[in-house]
């Protein structure tokens, strides 16, 4: 059977109206997609991959965006110069889309079932009851539990993975021939990601729809796509079958995307970054990286012996953090969620302890409890002989300069109205460090340089920086008070893999230079393993498994740890 072409794009060009005129965001992009096949787009934020997909759906703001193409054929029909109502008929029915942010992509004020039913009713004359039946079928197809409850549930009552399943149900509700998935799993845990990816694959093989799959993570795209297009700064730099791209990447940018994720088999001293590849530093590709940067087990062993001979810097004993489920006026004994339920561990000076687990396992509550940002219910925290739980509030505040935290979201953890320099200086002022104002300002400039930013950035505001740069600012702010211990709470999870590599390298080099100790919290075991000496696996508020990082990664004992490792994209199965 001759396969017809589902989507044919020739010389697509998208520009946005800026202050100085039309700025191109996507240039000369051409590709074809056949039914039942998946084309993956990969690239960093701002590479134009999302813009390409939104242009195909005509979802870009009409006044600010200009879409031009030599040819734009969908199912044999030209998509150029379609009227508004023609687009409405096409969208949702023949081409559907899943977005990156399941948290915000559903309307918070309507029930999940209603929103899916609305999509069905927009494209067919179907009664309320029949639409409801169809939604319930779809919900069980996307493997949502308790479908009838889910129908009436509102988005905020669902987990991220469940919301994304509702989005998928909505997208496939009218049996589209093209499904565009724009970073559908980026905001999700690795285990949830695996579930969503498997679901999308199953649905595709069942319905034979074509899929455009977009991600910044080449490993994820490789797991999904037949063909891959690598995008950089609006251009497609390399295009080919998934196997060719993964086995034999030609363009240095593609090579760098492949190499900047922590490898599974060897342990690297540091991760190679995109700029090094583009500068031609690694002509031998990944093989050369491995040869030059890998760290032998013997070297690690030697370091560990020295480290674990010391007295622990931090020891936590039977720590409990509970939250009341609901505040009531009259009763004081409200039911509690045991976020952290009797956790004990030690951290040695100069060590990096990885804390890993799915959302809701209590790892963030634990990290915050160490600084008493959440007040622990019970237990002991001993930091160099200081019993933190017993410290009065005033002394605890002063003590926080020894332990600092770098949060997940670099966008919301910086005050938008405070210049970067002020933000970094503030903790020093609070703790009265470095003598006077000019001493502190000097220190800020030093810190900016230390984290790879420029002294000229002092007076700029957070919105002028990219995600990676903002996380560098947060790191500089944490370093400002010269802490001994830094808690990194999902500090790289919101970043592209390429930027993630840079930030991880920065953390490691700072650790070496300043003699820091880290507690590194993440849901991504591959990243945690790259960073850590030891790993604690958390589940339901308790420590499930603990061990030396490499041996835990290669020989996990508990089924839960095995599940986490199996979910890593491009990873091997245990």
The residue ranges that bind another protein (CB under 8 A) are: 57, 59, 84-85, 87-93, 96-97, 99, 101, 104-111, 118-119, 122-123, 154, 156, 167, 170, 329
CB of 180 to another protein, least distance (A): 9
**Looking at beta carbons only, is 106 or 230 nearer to another protein?**
106
- Report the chain's C-alpha Rg in angstroms: 25
**By three-state DSSP, how is residue 373 classified?**
coil
- C-beta closer to another protein: residue 116 or 531: 116
At closest approach, how far in Å is the CB of 82 from another protein? 12
Q: Please identify, using beta-carbon distances, which residue of 170 and 531 lies nearer to another protein.
A: 170
Q: What are phi and psi of 172, to 5 degrees?
A: -90, 5
Of 61 and 283, nearer to another protein (C-beta) is 61
Write down the least CB distance from residue 34 to another protein, Å.
23
Distances in Å between the alpha carbon of 517 and those of 41, 506, 507, 508?
Answer: 38, 14, 10, 10
Decide if 110 contacts 116 (C-beta within 8 A): no
Cβ 135 to another protein shortest distance, Å: 13
CA distance linking residue 129 with residue 143, whole number of Å: 21
Please state, in angstroms and rounded to a whole number, the distance separating the CA atoms of residues 213 and 38: 7
* Smallest gap from residue 561 Cβ to another protein (A): 34
CB of 156 to another protein, least distance (A): 5
State the DSSP string of 14-56.
Answer: EEEEETTEEEEEEEEEEEEE-TT-EEEEE--TTSSHHHHHHHH
Q: Pick between residue 87 and residue 461 the one whose CB is nearest to another protein.
A: 87
Q: What residues pair up with 354 in beta bridges, in sequence order?
A: 520, 535
Closest separation in Å from C-beta 175 to another protein? 13
Residue 150 vs 423, nearer CB to another protein: 150
Tell me the DSSP string of 487-540: EEESTTTTS-HHHHHHHHHHHHHHHHHHT-EEEEEES-HHHHHHH-SEEEEEET
Residue (129 or 326) nearer to another protein, CB: 326
Question: ∠ at Cα 500 (496, 501), nearest 5°?
Answer: 125
- Work out how close the CB of 7 gets to another protein at its nearest, in angstroms, rounded to a whole number: 16
Please give the Cα distance from 286 to 230 (Å, whole number): 17
Decide: helix, strand or coil at residue 241.
strand
Report the nearest approach of another protein to the CB of residue 119 (Å): 4
Q: What is the rounded distance in angstroms from the CA atom of residue 477 to the CA atom of residue 437?
A: 16
Q: Is the Cβ of residue 57 or residue 521 nearer to another protein in the bound state?
A: 57
| 329 versus 456: smaller Cβ distance to another protein | 329
Q: Cβ distance 503 to 496 under 8 Å?
A: no
Cβ neighbours for 351, distance < 8 A, ≥ 6 positions apart: 307, 313, 517, 518, 533, 534
Any bridge partners for residue 380, and if so which? 317
């Amino acid at each position: 059977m001759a396969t017809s072409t589902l989507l044919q794009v020739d010389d697509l060009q998208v520009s946005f109206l800026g202050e100085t005129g039309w700025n191109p965001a996507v240039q000369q992009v051409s590709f074809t997609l056949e039914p039942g096949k998946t084309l993956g787009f990969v690239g960093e934020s701002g590479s134009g991959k999302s813009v390409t997909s939104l242009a195909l759906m005509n979802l870009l703001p009409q006044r600010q965006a200009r879409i031009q193409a030599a040819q734009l054929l969908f199912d044999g029909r030209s998509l150029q110069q379609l009227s508004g109502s023609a687009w409405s008929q096409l969208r949702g029915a023949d081409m559907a889309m899943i977005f990156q942010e399941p948290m915000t992509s559903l309307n918070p004020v309507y029930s999940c079932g209603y929103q899916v039913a609305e999509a069905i009713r927009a494209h067919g004359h179907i009664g309320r009851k029949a639409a409801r039946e169809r939604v319930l079928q779809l919900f069980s197809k996307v493997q949502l539990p308790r479908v009838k409850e889910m129908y009436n549930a509102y988005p905020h009552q669902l987990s991220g993975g469940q919301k994304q399943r509702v989005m998928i149900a909505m997208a496939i509700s009218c049996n589209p021939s093209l499904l565009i998935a724009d970073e559908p799993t980026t905001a999700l845990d690795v285990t949830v990601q695996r579930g969503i990816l498997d679901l999308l694959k199953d649905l595709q093989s069942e319905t034979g729809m074509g899929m455009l799959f977009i991600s910044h993570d080449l490993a994820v795209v490789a797991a999904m796509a037949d063909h891959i297009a690598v995008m950089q700064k609006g251009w497609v730099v390399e295009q080919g079958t998934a196997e060719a791209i993964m086995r034999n990447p030609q363009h240095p940018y593609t090579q760098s995307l492949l190499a900047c994720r922590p490898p599974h088999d060897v342990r690297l001293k540091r991760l190679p970054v995109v700029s090094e590849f583009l500068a031609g530093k690694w002509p031998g590709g990944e093989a050369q990286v491995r040869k030059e940067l890998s760290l032998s087990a013997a070297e690690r062993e030697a370091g560990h012996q020295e480290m674990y001979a010391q007295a622990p810097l931090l020891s936590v004993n039977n720590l409990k953090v509970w939250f009341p489920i609901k505040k009531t006026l009259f009763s004081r004994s409200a039911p509690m969620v045991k976020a952290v339920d009797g956790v004990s561990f030690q951290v040695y000076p100069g060590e990096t302890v990885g804390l890993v687990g799915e959302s809701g396992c209590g790892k963030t509550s634990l990290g915050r409890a160490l600084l008493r940002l959440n007040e622990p219910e019970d237990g002991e925290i001993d930091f160099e002989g200081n019993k933190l739980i017993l410290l009065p509030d005033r002394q605890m505040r002063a003590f926080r300069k020894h332990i600092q935290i770098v949060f997940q979201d670099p966008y919301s953890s910086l005050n938008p109205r405070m210049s970067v320099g002020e933000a970094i200086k503030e903790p020093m002022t609070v703790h009265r460090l470095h003598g006077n104002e000019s001493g502190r300002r000097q220190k800020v400039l030093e810190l900016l340089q230390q984290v790879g930013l420029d002294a000229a950035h002092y007076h700029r505001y957070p919105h002028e920086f990219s995600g990676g740069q903002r996380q560098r600012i947060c790191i500089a702010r944490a370093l400002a008070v010269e802490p001994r211990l830094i808690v990194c709470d999902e500090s790289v999870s919101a970043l592209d893999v390429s930027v993630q590599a840079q930030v991880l390298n920065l953390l490691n080099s700072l650790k070496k230079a300043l003699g820091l100790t880290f507690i590194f919290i993440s849901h991504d075991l591959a990243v945690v393993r790259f960073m850590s000496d030891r790993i604690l696996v958390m589940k339901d508020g308790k420590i499930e498994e603990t061990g030396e990082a490499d041996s835990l990664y290669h020989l996990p004992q508990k089924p839960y740890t095995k599940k986490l490792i199996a979910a890593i994209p491009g990873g091997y199965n245990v």
